[in-house]
Amino acid sequence: MGTDIHGFIEVRNSHIDASEPDDELFLRWHRAMDLCHVYDGRSYEAFGCLFGVRNASFEPLAAQRGFPPDASRAVARAFEWEDGDAHSASWISWAELTAADWDEQELPNTVRSRPEDRLTRRQVLRDEDWGDVWTVMRALAKRHGAENVRLVVWFDN
């Protein structure tokens, strides 16, 4: 049985005056896009590289942080709908992704016998697979700021 990833890209509006009481609603996280619209793969190397799930060949960027308590209502409902099958929930912001060392190699204890054969994060999170996710997040970050865009995920078997 395989492990699948589920999740959403979320965004917070950064152009709202927080001093206005009516604007509090707009400062919350909002669902921007279902991950399945921009990623439909099953890469255990990528799952491990990002979230520490299924593959430990990298120090994960955002290992099992849990489901964010401030998630949008739509994303929270989708997570709750999993009815106990979901595990390893986590999230990562666009700011964290852009700050990551994309040329970092796999840990030395990987199955590749020679150091020069070890993959980098960039190779594991290839544009062919993840490029659409990064494009959407990048576009939202350009408008709202890198800290106001995040990927919220969970897994099931």
* pLDDT (0 to 100) of residue 84: 75
Give the separation between CA 156 and CA 2, rounded to whole angstroms. 8
* pLDDT (0 to 100) of residue 24: 56
Residues of the chain with pLDDT under 50: none
- pTM recorded for the entire structure: 0.89
Buried b (16+ CB within 10 A) or exposed e, 27-60: eebbbbbebeebbeeebebbbbbbbbbbbebbeb
Contact, 47 vs 5, CB < 8 A? yes
* pLDDT (0 to 100) of residue 94: 98
Contact, 35 vs 153, CB < 8 A? yes
* pLDDT (0 to 100) of residue 64: 86
29 closest CA partner among 69, 66, 70: 70
Give the separation between CA 71 and CA 74, rounded to whole angstroms. 8
Give the separation between CA 152 and CA 62, rounded to whole angstroms. 10
